[in-house]
Structure 1
Amino acid sequence: MNALAIFLGITGPWQIVLVIVVVILLFGGKKIPELMKGIGSGIKEFKNAAKDDQPANSKKEEETKE
């Protein structure tokens, strides 16, 4: 049953801790804040682009209705 759970990707607290330890070992403690900052700014840019895209679509729909 445990092998099946691992195969299906069901994660528990020990798997999460193991992943965090591996990330710290690979990138080091100083690189992780820079990595998270880059990911956060990428997500922020994606959200802003999605917000900018929605009004443009609604304006086009309004123009076609008229």
Structure 2
Amino acid sequence: MDISLKTIEVDRSGTGRLICKENISADIKVAFFFKVNKNRDDVLKVAQAIGCERASSKYCHP
């Protein structure tokens, strides 16, 4: 299982921009960084929760 740092980027701009409650549009771009600790218990938790293949994939879909 690949436990290196993973990045998930979300870009909501242009035609995909967000519309706020006040009907104001907002372009946003965020990045989330995930990493599994290198200890046995944490690696096992991830492997059991989502599986080795999904944990190692760049694109993790539910």
TM-score (norm 2): 0.29
Higher relative contact order (CA 8 A, sep 6+): 2
Which structure has the bigger radius of gyration? Answer: 1
More strand by share: 2
TM-score, structure 1 normalization: 0.28
